[in-house]
Amino acid sequence: MIHDFLCSRIFLLALTVGSYVLGTAIYRRTHIALLHPVLLSVAILVAMMQGAGIEYEAYAEATEIFSLLLNLSVVALGYLLWEQVDRLRAHALSIVTSVIVGSIVGVGSVVGIVYLMGADEVIAISMAPKSITAPIAVAVVEPLGGIKAITSVVVICVGIFGSIVAPKLLDWLGISDPVARGLAMGAAAHGIGTARAIEIGAVEGAVSGLAMGLMGAVTALIIPLSFS
């Protein structure tokens, strides 16, 4: 009976929301990178599911509403893009060029590092889409024989790292232009970076959302060509 309650939709929804709220409160108090809300909430959920014997399939089914809300939030980025459409149009060439170069450098650098460390092609494929949003990354590596679990973990870690480090790094480099800042965060740290960019400003958020989408499309073309 207790196990049935732990597997219920209400409990799992409450556990997910509660884990993130707790993680946010802890991070705001400590500002420790390893206690980022996303990372901490995932750790809490994994520990609870393992301890209670809850299968991932049961959790995914109970919390499918979050997937729907996530899709809606991505669509909502379109409003930010519409508000900044004139500014984006003025920087169209630089945005597209930066995303293409960034994608090539991003994929090439991680694949090169993986091979230098002695890993095989499967690991290289799994880690190549580190800078694009998880759904696209998983869809890219699966037909190529990559390991989806590795891809998901790497993508989440890169997003968290980018959302924490990017604003401070851009400040240190003296990059204050909102278009450049948003472009860097969206191209390097996908959805988590875009969420942070929206907190910084409307322009940064709009450009970051556009960069995230373009980065996903370009990388999805580059990776299959690289391993064909």
- The pLDDT tens digits of the residues spanning 88-101 come to 788 888 888 888 88
Mean pLDDT to the nearest integer, 199-219 = 85
Residue 80 to residue 67: CA distance in whole angstroms: 21
pLDDT at 94: 84
38/143 same-domain check:
no
Question: What was the pLDDT predicted at 106?
Answer: 87
Q: Would you place residue 205 in the very low, low, confident or very high pLDDT band (cuts 50, 70, 90)?
A: confident
- Count of domains observed in the chain: 2
User: How far apart are the C-alpha atoms of 220 and 194, rounded to whole Å?
Assistant: 19
Do residue 220 and residue 137 come from a single domain? yes
**Phi, psi angles (nearest 5°) of residue 196:** -70, -40
pLDDT at 53: 81
Q: Which of 202, 228, 224, 217 is nearest to 85 (CA)?
A: 202
pLDDT at residue 220, rounded to an integer: 87
Taking the C-alpha atoms of residue 155 and residue 163, their distance in angstroms, rounded to an integer, is: 12
With contact defined as beta carbons under 8 Å apart, do 41 and 16 qualify? yes
Q: In this predicted structure, what is the pLDDT of residue 177? A: 87
Same domain, 104 and 182: yes
Residue 90 CA to residue 99 CA, distance in Å, equals 16
Cα→Cα distances 101→73, 104, 107, 134, 186, Å: 27, 5, 10, 21, 14
51 and 94 assigned to the same domain: no
The CA-based dihedral angle spanning residues 86, 79, 183, 217, taken in that order and rounded to the nearest 10 degrees: -110
Rounded-to-integer distance, Cα 192 and Cα 133, Å: 9
Between 1 and 212, name the one with better pLDDT: 212
CA 137, 9, 50, 27 dihedral sign is: positive
Q: Which region among 27-41, 127-141, 165-179 has the lowest average model confidence (pLDDT)?
A: 27-41
Q: Are residue 58 and residue 97 in the same domain, yes or no?
A: no
Does any domain span residue 68? no
CA gap 30, 156 in Å, rounded:
20
* 83/165 same-domain check: yes
Q: What is the mean pLDDT of the chain?
A: 83
Together in a domain, 115 and 10: no
The answer to whether residue 72 is domain-embedded is no
Would you say residue 90 lies in a domain?
yes
Coil, strand or helix at 228:
coil
User: First CA to last CA across the chain, in angstroms?
Assistant: 51
The answer to the question of residue 208 being in a domain is: yes
Residue 1 has pLDDT above 80, yes or no: no
In this structure, is residue 137 part of a structural domain?
Answer: yes
In this structure, of 62-71, 126-135, 174-183, 189-198, the range with the lowest mean pLDDT score is 62-71
Q: Which of 162, 93, 169 is nearest to 133 (CA)?
A: 162
Domain end residue (candidates: 62, 94, 112): 62
- Do 174 and 202 lie in one domain? The reply is yes
Q: Is residue 205 in a domain? A: yes
Which pLDDT does position 74 carry in this prediction?
65
Whether residue 130 contacts residue 115, with contact meaning beta carbons closer than 8 Å, is answered with: no
**pLDDT interval class at 73 (50, 70, 90):** low
Interval 111-119 mean pLDDT: 88
Q: Are residues 48 and 81 in the same domain?
A: no
Residues 94 and 178 in one domain: yes
Instruction: Assess whether 24 and 95 both reside in one domain.
Output: no
Domain that holds residue 105: 77-226
Enumerate residues 6+ apart whose C-beta is below 8 A from 108.
none
- Asked if residue 71 is part of any domain, the answer here is no
In a domain, 70, yes or no: no
pLDDT higher at 3 or 206 = 206
3-state SS assignment for residue 133 = coil
The answer to whether residues 163 and 182 touch, using CB atoms and an 8 Å cutoff, is no
pTM given for the model: 0.78
Tokens of 72: 């809606």
Q: Are residues 101 and 185 in the same domain?
A: yes
